[in-house]
A and B are shown apart, each in its own frame.
Chain A
Amino acid sequence: MSNDNILEVINLKKYFKVSKGTIKAVDDISFTVKYGETFGLVGESGSGKSTTGHVIVGLYAPTSGRILFEGADISAGVERRPLSLKKKIQMVFQDPATSLNPKRTIKQIIELPLKVHDICHGDTSQKVAELLQMVELPVEYMDRYPTELGGGEKQMVAIARALAVNPSFIILDEPTSALDVSIQAKIINMLMRFQKEFNLSYLFITHNLSLMRNVASRVAIMYLGKIVELASTEEFFYNPLHPYTKMLLSSIPVITDEEEAMKPKKIISTGEIPGALNVPPGCSFHPRCPERLEICDKVEPFMLEISSGHLVKCHLYDFTKA
């Protein structure tokens, strides 16, 4: 077994049954996260990136596939997970306004995981104060309610709550997309510092590629429940292969000339993202793809390793068939 992987996701599927059919939110994806790295999961809304995070943290049991955490199979779902395992995997959600209970004080919010995991007995004030100081919030905030705090400060509280139990793996689900850029910078820097300090591994979920460029060491891009390209961050941004990746990169609004020069020129965004209920046959990107081949609407492409660690799911690179 490869021991430098903290998390291995193998052929993970998560389907939801609805009245009109089955939504394949996550459809056969595989990736690994190494110890101490930030693995980025990018995609537009409805691509299944958050569902992936929810399955890993145990909010849903997977439909099929395996999740290995530190070598042990944890695909059983949260009710069968031991407390010690739940402690190791924590999550920070997108919108701090809804992930913090408005009827509880900051102290009550942060001390709950401490009590659940039996880390602190009796008076938790000191430990809560330490955690607040760690995320650079004033200790007086302890007795305040979430509504009295700014958006960025609320997210700091959510991060403090996740760190309270000394986890080794944190899923960050769009931690800054509800916040302004000037506050985003502060939170991301803090997260990067904690990663070094506590030797954390992150699964970083976002739709913001510019942000991903600066935080992740490897990036996977999802489209309608499938990973279409996976590469190291450098490879991904300087040598994007999948037409969807290129379309996404060329759509990003940027502010400097150097960035403008980096964007792939040829591909212009067209078409709509189909609904999850009627995923197109073959390659699900083919209705929007400017480089579509004849085969694309019939056969689903395989994941191909183009160079070491650079995987792409596209017929354009399947030279065995050409």
Chain B
Amino acid sequence: MNNTLLNVKELQVHFKVYGGILKVLNDVTLTVNEKEKVGLIGESGCGKTTTMKAIIRILPWNAIVPKAKIYFKGKDVMKMNDSELKKLRRSSISMIFQDPTAALNPVFKIRDQIFDVVKYANLEMGKNLSKKEIEEEAIRLLREAALPEPERILDSYPFQLSGGMRQRVCIAMALASARELLIADEPGTSLDVTIEDQILRLLKQIVEERRTSIILISHALGAVKGFVDRVYVMYAGCIVESARTFDLFHEPLHPYTKGLLAAVPKLTGGGIPEGIKGRVPDYMNPPLGCRFITRCVHAMPICERKQPRMVNAGNNHEVACFLYGE
């Protein structure tokens, strides 16, 4: 059961920009097991999406990767050549993006867009499908993504569909090639609450049926809680805590996780708690030690000098904070 599918170790990503270098990802380490649902939470700009883009090697041109060990099923992704990467993206890992409007090409019908994906995903597995077979497969995928009247959808342009339907189309396209790992980057954030709920329930049902692993990225803590087995918390380019979902929400350890959970307004009322003071550090000159030090209420002298490493606080609950030993 516990076969590691994806193993990322000490991933660093920097971006060259006008005025210097942004040191964004700082030694990100994470693993995803087969058939596992993993959540990645953190606030905007903390590097969630960058981590995922680094994994499937689609970082923009100004990104620098000084250090990275990425293994997918034991194979080193960093050493893959173009054709191996193509194969990886066409048949193993796929990604659903936050904004379905931006992810679909506005000037092509859904038919043209999904046909390409289906064709090449199957070609990679040695199946050269005829046009008719491609259409059948595309319709099957659209149905799997709970889209009514898939034939009509195929002949629509993206603007003719609602936001929820567009996201379902993106899910269908991702399903064509995500045989082992699906990365869902805030799949419901740009949608309405009732529609987001539908999309998340659909995704959960699909990955459980297909026995695919999924990484669900979100800043909405509640959405992650009802979905995944294990959660990673990210802050300013670092993984600060990882635990099983239940443990993380019932007994958060890192001061950032605690602050984040406390800041969410509760349906049961009780007023709005104080947020986390201060702001995210500048990636140009991040703090030398713990990156949360500028906002932490427990900051100690050691936090300034040393970067905390992930330590096991028991029960597979890991935290990168000097309050918990090292």
Contact = CB atoms under 8 A, between A and B. Distances in A.
Given A44-B192, A247-B194, A182 B267 contact: no
Contacts, number: 130
A259 interface: yes
B268 A262 contact: yes
Contact of A253 (B164, B195, B226): B226
B193 A188 contact: no
Nearest to B295: A182
Contacts of A256: 249, 266, 268
B276 A182 contact: yes
B267 A210 contact: yes
Nearest to B42: A180
B254 to A, nearest CB: 13
A189 B262 CA distance: 14
Contacts of B22: none
| Interface hub of A185, A214, A247, A253 (most chain B Cβ within 10 A) | A253
A182 B41 CA distance: 13
A83 interface: no
Given A182-B259, A182-B260, A186-B274, A254 B265 contact: no
Given A214-B272, A255-B225, A180 B196 contact: no
A188 B197 contact: no
A188 B272 contact: yes
Nearest to B196: A251
A215 B272 contact: yes
A129 B224 CA distance: 42
A316 interface: no
Interface residues of A, number: 45
Contacts of A237: 267, 269
Contacts of A239: none
A269 interface: yes
Interface residues of B, number: 43
Interface in B262-297: 263-277, 279-280
A262 B43 contact: no
Contact of B264 (A189, A255, A269): A255
Contacts of A44: 192-195
B205 interface: no
Interface string A193-222: 000000000000001111101110000000
15 contacts: A44-B193, A150-B280, A152-B279, A180-B44, A181-B43, A209-B193, A214-B270, A253-B221, A253-B222, A254-B225, A255-B249, A259-B266, A263-B267, A269-B194, A269-B195
Interface of B: 43-44, 162, 164-165, 192-198, 200-201, 219-226, 249, 259-261, 263-277, 279-280
